[in-house]
Chain A
Amino acid sequence: MIWIAIRMLTGDAQKFYGLVFGIAFSTLLITQQLTIFVNLIERGASGVYNVSNADVWVMDPVSRTTDVAYAMPSTALDKVRSVEGVEWAVPHIRAQAAVRTSTGDLEGVAVIGVDDATLIGLPKRMLEGAPDVLDQPDSVIIDDVGTTRMFPDESPIGKRLELNDQRAVIRGVADAIPSFTSTVVLYTKYSQALRYVPGTRNRLSFVLVGAEHGVSADELAKRITDQTGLRARTRDEFAQDGVDFIIQNTGIPFNFGITVMLGFIVGIAIVGLTFSLFIRDNIKQFGALKAIGVTNAKIRRMVASQAALVGLVGYGLGIVGTVLFIWGFAGNPTFKGFYVPWQIPLVSLVAVFLILALTGWLALRNVLKTEPASVFR
């Protein structure tokens, strides 16, 4: 009977494709929007993930993320270095600045000052140039998203910038995860950054810490907090802080949530309507089957198999659509590093299951309510 059910469904091409479209559209909308949402809020952690070798981030107790930081006095560095279990500790500055290009354009940039001696604080990979280009005078390294924004059709190497009224020369391109706002990022040495960024009494944004072998990051962070009064977060904790900050302080979750909900509702509407039409058009046939001697249990299995087929094809197309979307925009800096976390297709699958269960149940009710005797009327 399953075969007959499938043929009944696929034989009505218009409704079959309507159902598949409904599920595919819902899956695409839910999966794609959730994917963008997750990747976007993970950008809140990009500042942390770009510094791969710091086990612990130390900051003023009021600092919340890499972009919302209150500067500490430079003595904080020595305090941290004095804590047992600290292998190394280096200064790290993050500040906003304005840059004027040779064509006169003005662009807001983030200036990140990395440790002069070790260059800890730079992204791991360089696309052009080497980290030691920062040894040259007025050197800065630009991130690849910044390159795309400021120098879309040319190499930025050798370009001169007016950074907060001072000379800066781009000598390298770093492969960095873009920030949440996709701001252009310029990396330079800590000492150079202090010159670029307007001075206040305290300038040190963070102290980046490496833990001694055998000391866990959790334990070290606790120790630093206890002994210095500063806020110390492990790499993962601080990354999560960045994500949480975006969730708590922007309307993004709400807006994406609405879109995902719309995907769900549109799915229910399209699939529910089409499924009901399909059942209504075939109600005589279902009635005849019931009269002939097909049990309600078999009818349920028939409708379930129709829903399963629609679900499988529609869900598959929706997921493929999402993957193609992500793949198609992979070259766009806005979508750099985007991926589909495995949990999202699972969420979409649950949504599709709910849509089909609900609409299938509604459609099935009509079939089950149909009296076999109605075929004689």
Chain B
Amino acid sequence: MVRKLDTTAIGGCNPEAAICARGVTRDFTAGQQTITVLHGIDVDIRAGELTYLVGESGSGKTTLISIMCGILWPTEGEVKVFGTDIYALGDTELVEFRLQNIGFIFQQYNLIPSIDAASNAAVPLIAQGMDRHEARERAVAMLEKLNIGNQAHKLPSQLSGGQQQRVAIARALVHEPRLVVCDEPTAALDAASGRRVMDLLREVAVAEDRACIIVTHDNRIFDLADRILVLEDGRITHDGSEMPEGH
């Protein structure tokens, strides 16, 4: 089923939208040249869906997801995450907002090599100020939910790529964020492991009150999406539950 572009709410956000981006433009300056990477993007991301952001390299998907999760300022436009205009917040408030509301899964995991899996997973809770031991207990519980509770005491270097990815997922979810952002979560995994990770993400990261956005160009997992947004040259050219013909 192909959905039409979600442009009906321009100028106003759907109150149920997890993310509402309006007129998002982002320019980058290279020398004396200004390159516009995003051209006035309007999009709503709904909670309870696994939303893919798909596109070729240089299409602007990383820039868009960075803006939607509050780590890159748009040149123009506004972004509301669960009703909060995040770029109207002060710097410290925005960082605090991310800490409380957003979970990140990075392509290269970015786990801290010298602390064990449980401590890595507990980082957001520790950053929130929770007692380290209590944070670890909660992190171990999350690792158990992801079926690697028995690896909690191992360092990242002692884990396989798939296990490290699970630790990264645990870190993204341990503080129960309302928005989970994943960057190429299956890029470093074989097909079977990639599907297992995606099944896991659907199981733990998708909920009625939680949105999950995944940036990917891994066509092996396109069939697992609830919604696919295709980005080309800084514009959303497709919004549907399946990839368009020819991609």
Q: Give the total number of A-B pairs whose CB atoms are below 8 A apart.
A: 87
Q: Are A295 and B95 in contact (CB under 8 A)?
A: yes
User: Is A291 an interface position by the 8 A CB rule?
Assistant: yes
B110 engages A293 (CB within 8 Å): no
Number of interface residues of B (CB under 8 A): 33
* Given known contacts A3-B132, A292-B104, A373 and B71 CB-to-CB distance under 8 angstroms: yes
B7 interface residue, CB < 8 Å from A? no
Tell me the residues in window 217-233 of chain B with beta carbons closer than 8 Å to chain A beta carbons. none
How many angstroms between the C-alpha atoms of A174 and B34 in the bound complex? 86
Q: Whole-angstrom distance from the CB of A312 to the nearest CB of chain B? A: 19
Which residues of the other chain, B, contact A284 by a CB distance below 8 angstroms? 108, 110
- In the A-B complex, the 5 residue pairs with the closest CB atoms: A11-B114, A293-B99, A288-B110, A372-B71, A373-B72
The B157-214 residues at the A interface (CB cut-off 8 A) are 171, 183
In A1-19, the 8 Å CB interface with B consists of 1, 3-4, 7-8, 10-12
Taking A1-B126, A293-B102, A293-B124 as known contacts, 16 extra A-B pairs with beta carbons closer than 8 A to each other, sorted by chain A number, are A3-B126, A4-B119, A11-B113, A284-B108, A291-B69, A291-B104, A292-B99, A292-B123, A293-B95, A293-B96, A293-B98, A293-B100, A295-B96, A373-B71, A376-B107, A376-B183
Is A125 interfacial (CB 8 A cutoff)? Answer: no
Contacts of B132 in A (CB 8 A): 3
A288 contacts B106, C-beta separation under 8 Å: yes
Q: How far in angstroms is the closest Cβ of chain B from A265?
A: 30
Contacts of A287 in B (CB 8 A): 110
- Asked if B75 is at the interface of the complex by the 8 Å CB criterion, the answer is no
- B residues within 8 A CB of A292? 98-99, 104, 123-124, 127, 171
A375 at the binding interface (Cβ < 8 Å): yes
0/1 interface trace, chain A 278-310, chain B, CB 8 Å (1 if under): 000010110111111111011000000000000
In the bound complex, do residue A8 and residue B124 qualify as a contact, i.e. CB atoms below 8 Å apart?
no
Q: List 22 A-B contacts (CB under 8 A).
A: A8-B115, A12-B114, A284-B108, A285-B111, A288-B104, A290-B95, A291-B69, A292-B123, A292-B124, A292-B127, A293-B99, A293-B127, A294-B95, A295-B95, A297-B92, A371-B72, A372-B72, A373-B72, A376-B65, A376-B66, A376-B106, A376-B215
How far apart are B170's CB and chain A's nearest CB, in angstroms? 13
